[in-house]
Amino acid sequence: MTRRTWQEPVIELPHCDLPEDPAPVGGCDVCAALADQRATARQIDDSSRATDCNIEMRQHPHRRGKR
């Protein structure tokens, strides 16, 4: 009698609440500031603010033309 009616549980990351943690782009002041805010938000356990910083960091436009 096998029961596989429900989906398998989502695999949790070892020590990261958020699925993705974008890295700040080097040389970008905005990203550096966002990374700073994110670190501060994590320290005070403000995960929603940290997520906001991640979203903003992802949406922050950058020039991709390093050659």
- Identify which of residues 28 and 51 has a Cβ nearer to Zn ion in the complex: 28
DSSP conformation letters of 45-57:
T-HHHHHHHHHHH
Q: Tell me if 24 sits within 8 A of 57, measured CB to CB.
A: yes
Nearest distance from C-beta of residue 50 to Zn ion, angstroms: 16
3-state secondary structure of 15: coil
- Identify which of residues 13 and 58 has a Cβ nearer to Zn ion in the complex: 58
In whole angstroms, what is the distance from residue 63 CA to residue 67 CA? 11
Site string for Zn ion, 15-54 (x = CB under 5 A): ----------x--x-xx-----------------------
List interacting residues with Zn ion (CB under 5 A): 25, 28, 30-31, 60
